[in-house]
Amino acid sequence: MTARTREDLRTADRIVVKVGSSSISGESAWRIPMIVHALSSAHSRGCEIVLVSSGAIATGIPYLDLEAKPTDLATQQAAAAVGQNVLVYRYQEALRPFRIVAGQVLLTTGDLENATSRSNARRAMERLLGLRILPIVNENDTVATQEIRFGDNDRLAALVAQLIQADALVLLSDIECLYTKPPTDPSAEPIDIITADSDLEGLEFGATVVNSVGTGGAATKVSAARLAAASGIGVLVTGADLVDRALNGEDIGTWFEPAVISATRAAPVS
């Protein structure tokens, strides 16, 4: 059932949740159990949850004794190889009390652009969900280069939501909602709902790079949300600390109304 409103998140059958590096790495790693608790609650009521999680590079950096995020590709790939392992371990440890098993899914743009690999990815994820496994998706940073990257995991989350025909997408941010201007601007006003045909000209969503450990920001979330909403997927943008309230359909964040698409969920690819 496509989520037409925020309230529908409470009863949605399939939700993709995306969390960024700044929310779960370094000193923010304490949020992982909190996010997992919210996901497990939705999982326990029968919802199929897919988590798209950034953070591999940021998580791996301390283990390589690096003082800052590396700028060369090879070291970024090395940090991702170490960090992805640690990141998934942290999620699995947090999931253990709820008797939920995580499944790691690493993707590149090529995986979703090529018909065969796209079909394989969809089939694998459908099977994981059918087995009540919680897929944790990230970009495959050990093989991705600037030329073949998604650009940010907000876009990856939107593409994954399209791939598995999710009912809703929740993009977790550092702020509670989107604003008409950067929230540091005194004249900025919160945005409640963005309709499918909204003209966003004149709105200022801020810079792309938001911190030293992750990329993204409001502009990338808007772009990803519009992409998913155009496919008939309702999208909520809100703060990572509000994930439990978001999945319970409370009136928070910025809601992107989905376009009306006359299509039914396809059967799992065999």
Q: Which residues are annotated as a binding site for substrate?
A: 54, 141, 153
The span from the CA of 124 to the CA of 130, in Å, is 10
**Alpha carbon distance, N-terminus to C-terminus of the chain:** 22
How many other CB atoms are there within 10 angstroms of residue 30's CB atom?
8
The span from the CA of 7 to the CA of 263, in Å, is 22
**Residue 153 CA: distances (Å) to CA of 6, 128, 260, 267:** 22, 21, 25, 26
153-163 and 218-230 are packed helices; what angle lies between their axes, rounded to 10 degrees?
A: 10
Whether the CB-CB separation of 237 and 220 falls below 8 Å is answered with: no
How many other CB atoms are there within 10 angstroms of residue 146's CB atom?
7
Whether the CB-CB separation of 205 and 222 falls below 8 Å is answered with: yes
Q: What residues form the annotated binding site for ATP?
A: 18, 173-174
The two three-digit tokens of residue 215, written as one number? 């990329």
Q: What residues form the annotated binding site?
A: 18, 54, 141, 153, 173-174
**Helices and strands: H and E segment counts in the chain:** 9, 8
The span from the CA of 76 to the CA of 20, in Å, is 17
CA torsion 100→102→14→116, rounded to 10°? -150
The residue type of 90 is R
